[in-house]
Amino acid sequence: MLLAIDVGNTNTVIGAYQKNGEGGLLDHWRIATSAERTADEYSVTIRALFGLNDLDPAKIGAAIISSVVPAAVHPLRLALKERFGITPLLVGPGIKTGMPILYENPKEVGADRIVNAVAAYAKYQGGTIVVDFGTATTFDCISPKGEYLGGVIAPGVTISADALYHHAAKLPRVEIGRPPQVIGRNTVASIQSGLYNGYVSLVDGIVRRMVQEAGFPIRVVATGGLARLIAKGSATIEEADELLTLDGLRLIHAMNVT
């Protein structure tokens, strides 16, 4: 069994694949990211998640990690090594991805963005834009030749919602959702409209500019926790794939294991 783990700034996504990645996805989970979580806590959490679905943690034979939270890497690797007897692969410099990185400094590209790009190109085999709705909203462009060209980073919708709540004394915290209409009839509906429709417009505007600048046919796929919600109102997102990052980790693991 392959354990694929993507550590984001807000959430950590864990997936269990059959036969060390050669089989299908058995299950996946999303937990809060904490830089203070210890190796023992990771061990207990993984075992508890497996227990929810009657999976046997003793069958974990390999693992791969991508992380944008450096402090979380050491305890996670320690947990896998000491409690499960596994030395995980870590997505970073030196690992095979099969994708040329055309950033001015390739080391600046977040591991999750590379993993998404690898998965998207493997799936569509052509020009692609991946929109990832995480703590930040990222847009990554892959060429028809399978090259990572670069992208865009914008504040995530949750960051904007939190900023509005903390810096506007009379405005309440609201759930991020799709409002029934653009023109809100009360404060909550107005804020929801601004957040939702504002981000849909941001996504569509940036994607259209990227497509125009790239100059080649592009498929647009969204991933991340809010992917399906935002995709419902977007005119440019063609597909929402919440498991794109996990699948990219599975592919990269296969490239690096002989």
Q: Are 223 and 240 in contact (CB under 8 A)?
A: yes
Catalytic residues: 112
The structure tokens listed for 99 are 């994708």
Rounded distance between C-alpha atoms, residue 62 and residue 54, angstroms: 19
Residue at 39: amino acid letter = A
Rounded distance between C-alpha atoms, residue 114 and residue 118, angstroms: 6
Buried b (16+ CB within 10 A) or exposed e, 146-156: bbbbebbebeb
Pair type for strands 62-67 and 2-7? parallel
